[in-house]
């Protein structure tokens, strides 16, 4: 084990800004990207659903 | 045996690939999580402190995997582009399109973590060094590919134009890889060498596990994105309107 305490772990031997600045941005990116794609996917599904509903109504209207 | 007679070309059709990708995505997410936890554990708790760089070297566990992935994704993207261009296979072009943003993100992360590593070790966020510059060009190639595709209305023409950019830009990947050998650079040489690795075994394992994590993440993300692209581009087809999640 490299660390004697949590504080020591977060201090990263004086390199806290650099180490956490790197890992933090990577983590943020890897959370944000799936979230944005999920949003885009929901959007297209909604559009397609509306299109399907519209087509159904058109078929049923005499 | 039907098992042996799977027609792989069947999955070249977006119609058949869409549900298959949907089933594969959770598997890749699970793998990414597994490798990620193992890699972070190795990187922070098992790998020893570096004799020269102290704890600052731990940036390697995201920097090297992100850099590898940025180059690897580009090669995969160029390969899909080539298949799309030569066989006129639209799913291949969609795969290339789905990979580009993730590749750009990896190139960005490589540059970002590199800057955060360069500052404490070299005293500067950025130098116009061969490796850093060629990686920056890779980032711009991804952006160029995306911008070009977005600027052409006809998707099939956009695919072709993008594919040409992807293929021409592929020259840059070996340049990045060998830049530390060909030029005198500030960037250190490759850390992984099959004959004699310059690092502790646990450090190497941490790096490999993190690379596997980012690789599986990229696959999961690309499959998710390609499903969205399929829906967007096949919106006019009957099968899309018959999907359970779309049906009126």
Interchain CB distance below 8 Å, B105 and A29? yes
- The model's pLDDT over B140-153, given as tens digits with 9 standing for 90+, comes to 999 999 999 999 99
Query: Which of the residues A10, A13, A15, A45 would you substitute to probe the B interface, choosing the one with the greatest number of B C-beta atoms within 10 Å?
Result: A15
pLDDT at position B3, please? 58
Whether B36 is covered by a domain: the verdict is no
Residues spanned by the domain of B184 = 45-241
| Nearest residue in chain A measured CA to CA from B40 | A23
Residue B128 in contact with residue B86, Cβ under 8 Å? no
Domains of chain A: which residue ranges? Answer: 16-60
A-B contacts at Cβ under 8 angstroms: 100
Question: Between the CA of residue B178 and those of B29, B131, B183, what are the distances in Å?
Answer: 32, 8, 9
Interchain CB distance below 8 Å, A26 and B113? yes
pLDDT at position B59, please? 94
Whether B131 is covered by a domain: the verdict is yes
Q: Is pLDDT above 50 for B1?
A: no
The answer to whether A55 contacts chain B (CB < 8 Å) is: yes
Nearest by CB to B228, from A9, A44, A49: name it. Answer: A44
Cα gap B222→B219, rounded to integer Å: 5
Residue B207 in contact with residue B191, Cβ under 8 Å? yes
Q: Write the ipTM.
A: 0.91
Whether B76 is covered by a domain: the verdict is yes
Whether B30 is covered by a domain: the verdict is no
Residue scoring higher pLDDT (B163 or B11): B163
Whether B248 is covered by a domain: the verdict is no
Exposure b/e, B72-96, CB count within 10 A at least 16 = b: bbbebbbbbbbbbbeeebbbbbbbb
- What's the total number of domains in chain B? 1
Interchain CB distance below 8 Å, B117 and A13? no
Cα gap B23→B198, rounded to integer Å: 41
- Cβ atoms within 10 Å of B174's Cβ, excluding its own: 13
Whether B4 is covered by a domain: the verdict is no
* pTM, two decimal places: 0.91
Whether B246 is covered by a domain: the verdict is no
Whether B40 is covered by a domain: the verdict is no
Chain A residues inside the 8 Å CB shell of B232? 44
Chain B residues inside the 8 Å CB shell of A21? 116
Q: Is pLDDT above 90 for B230?
A: yes
């Amino acid at each position: 084990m490299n660390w004697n305490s949590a504080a020591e772990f977060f201090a990263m031997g004086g390199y806290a800004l650099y180490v956490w600045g790197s890992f933090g941005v990577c983590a943020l990116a890897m959370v944000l990207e799936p979230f944005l794609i999920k949003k885009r996917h929901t959007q297209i599904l909604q559009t397609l659903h509306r299109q399907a509903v519209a087509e159904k109504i058109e078929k049923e209207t005499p | 045996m039907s098992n042996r007679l799977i027609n792989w070309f069947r999955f070249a059709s977006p119609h058949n690939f869409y549900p298959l990708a949907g089933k594969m995505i959770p598997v890749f997410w699970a793998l990414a999580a597994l490798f990620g936890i193992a890699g972070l554990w190795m990187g922070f708790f098992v790998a020893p402190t570096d004799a020269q760089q102290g704890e600052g070297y731990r940036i390697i566990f995201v920097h090297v995997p992100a850099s590898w992935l940025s180059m690897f994704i580009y090669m995969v993207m160029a390969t899909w582009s080539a298949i799309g261009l030569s066989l006129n296979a639209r799913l291949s072009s969609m795969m290339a399109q789905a990979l580009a943003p993730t590749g750009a993100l990896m190139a960005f992360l490589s540059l970002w973590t590199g800057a955060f590593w360069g500052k404490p070790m070299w005293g500067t966020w950025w130098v116009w060094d061969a490796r850093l510059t060629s990686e920056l060009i890779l980032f711009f190639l991804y952006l160029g590919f995306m911008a070009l595709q977005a600027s052409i209305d006809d998707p099939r023409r956009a695919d072709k134009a993008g594919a040409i950019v992807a293929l021409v830009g592929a020259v840059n990947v070996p340049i990045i890889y060998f830049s530390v050998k060909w030029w005198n650079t500030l960037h250190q040489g490759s850390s992984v060498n099959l004959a004699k690795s310059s690092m502790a075994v646990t450090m190497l394992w941490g790096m490999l596990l993190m690379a596997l994590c980012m690789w599986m993440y990229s696959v999961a993300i690309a499959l998710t994105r390609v499903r969205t692209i399929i829906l967007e581009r096949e919106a006019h087809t009957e099968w899309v309107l018959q999907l359970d999640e779309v049906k009126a």
